[in-house]
Amino acid sequence: MSKKFAVFLLAMIPLISQLVVLPFVNRIDPIVLGLPFLQFWLFLWIILTPLCTFGIYRIQKSEGSID
């Protein structure tokens, strides 16, 4: 997998999880950690999105494209 594709993938994962997958996880029934599933999903991506951004940063830094 090329580094450009990895950067693209890491940038698209949060976008896809919030816009495309969101209608499919719009459920109350499974309660996760005391939260309805939709609310848990949104809080999960609040944590995972900066991790994806950090991955992009590390890839670009290893390429030398960040000073």
Q: With bands split at pLDDT 50, 70 and 90, how would you rate the model's confidence at 67?
A: low
pLDDT score recorded for residue 9: 92
Kind and range of the H or E element at 45? helix 37-63
Name residue 12's amino acid: M
Tell me the pTM: 0.77
C-alpha to C-alpha distance for 23 and 15, rounded to whole angstroms = 13
pLDDT digits (tens, 9 = 90+) for 6-60: 899 999 999 998 888 888 888 778 898 998 988 898 999 999 999 999 999 999 8
pLDDT score recorded for residue 30: 87
C-alpha to C-alpha distance for 47 and 64, rounded to whole angstroms = 27
pLDDT score recorded for residue 24: 86
pLDDT score recorded for residue 26: 83
